[in-house]
Amino acid sequence: MKLMILLLFCHGASAVEHSLKIYHIISSGHPNIPDYVGITDFEDTGMTYYDSNMTMIEPRHDWVSKLMEGDPQHWKKKSQDCKNYEQVFKDEANSFNQHSKQTGGVYIVQQIFGCVWDDETQKADGFKEYAYNGEDILKFDLQTETWIAANPQAEITKHEWDGNTANNQFWKNFLTNFCPELVKKYLTYASAFLHRTDLPSVSLLQKSPSSPVSCHATGFYPDRALMLWRKDGEDLHEDVDQGEILPNHDGSFQMRVDLKLSSVKPEDWRRYDCVFQLSGADDKIITKLDKAEIRTNSGKPSDTTVPIFVAVVVLAVILISVIGFTVYKKKKERDSKELSRCSYQNCNIEPKCNCAQKSEAINNNETATLRFCKRD
């Protein structure tokens, strides 16, 4: 019962399935970042944020703010629940660290739990997992109400937790009953946000004069769109590299399509254009292949370049903690794309930008208030 009270609101799709996912992160050994972070995702979009330096949960979207304004005392209590659960999770993290026999240095423990609810079949499926330094260690089995250990070090904790039947029964009820009810509640507030239509900004990018030209669109919603290169109005299929639709932390999406210039004669540039179109929409965004419009490494850097890379060092450990759920994300449908949040627009033209810096850049470039790398 105590655990239920503590966790009640320390939380953070497709047209049919709706998801709520809650992330807790404990890190040690880094003085410049919070040692506890709690993140809530609703419909794979950042909903709320909380860390050990705060007293109240922070909303990440206007619809969440309206939800909080409707019952401020309720949210105040849930913020306290998050603060209390911080100690519960720290105790679990210390136990994992002892069992790992790690004697020093930085260690990171991640916890993810939540549910997916199908609004047609009314069926719900829940999950709860732990990872230590990026490796899976424990997973809750809803059917048997027991824990599955991923390595020998986790066996000790598994046997301890298997014996706590009351806590395991609570988790099964929470994940299969209470969590889906939260999803339904949030859907009523988030409806306008989820059903909006946003057009993207489109840019032409090029790493070097010999590199392909990328037509990059970012900020569009929903995640159903067509993007292609044309020549004389005809779709191109050769010398074209089609990228995936990837999520931005603010709930919008980005995509790109590359054109190899080796087959394009200089005098023929005017015959090429890039087309973006949202699924079901009549309007198209057409961008002509124009050398004057291409952003390259030799061009003037954007104003956000300096703050982007200053923030990289401060957020490095939290980035690692998020990447630590790679294994889990690859197991779950729809979640694999969340690990590819590098800003193609700002990082692809920077030769010294590694993968870690890219993930940092997209989060810091797109919102100054973001405090964690994700997958917001």
With 0-12 / 13-18 / 19 or more C-beta atoms within 10 angstroms meaning exposed / middle / buried, residue 52 is: middle
DSSP 3-state of 63 = helix
Tell me the CA end-to-end span of the chain in Å, nearest whole number: 30
Helix (H) or strand (E) holding 226: strand 225-231
pTM: 0.60
85 lies in the same domain as 137: yes
CATH of the domain at 263: 2.60.40.10
Rg over CA atoms, the chain: 23
251 lies in the same domain as 360: no
| Per-residue pLDDT of the chain in tens (376 residues, 90 and over written 9) | 344 334 434 443 344 789 999 999 988 867 777 889 999 999 888 889 999 888 888 888 888 888 888 888 777 877 888 888 888 888 888 888 777 766 667 788 999 999 999 988 889 999 999 998 888 999 999 999 999 999 888 899 999 999 999 999 999 999 999 999 999 988 888 888 878 889 999 999 999 888 999 999 999 988 889 999 999 999 998 999 999 999 887 878 999 999 999 889 889 999 999 999 998 888 899 999 999 999 986 554 333 333 333 333 334 434 444 444 443 344 444 333 333 333 333 333 333 333 333 333 333 333 322 233 333 3
With 0-12 / 13-18 / 19 or more C-beta atoms within 10 angstroms meaning exposed / middle / buried, residue 1 is: exposed
37 lies in the same domain as 129: yes
Number of compact structural domains in the chain? 3
Token look-up 């790992």 returns 100
181 lies in the same domain as 290: no
Structural domain for 122, as ranges? 2-194
206 lies in the same domain as 190: no
Domain stop point among 247, 274, 296: 296
Q: Is the dihedral of CA 307, 21, 187, 341 positive or negative?
A: positive
Distance in angstroms (rounded) separating the CA atoms of residues 271 and 335: 38
Query: Is position 173 within any domain?
Result: yes
Contact status, residue 359 vs residue 375, Cβ threshold 8 Å? no
Query: Is position 48 within any domain?
Result: yes
153 lies in the same domain as 47: yes
Query: Is position 375 within any domain?
Result: no
144 lies in the same domain as 239: no
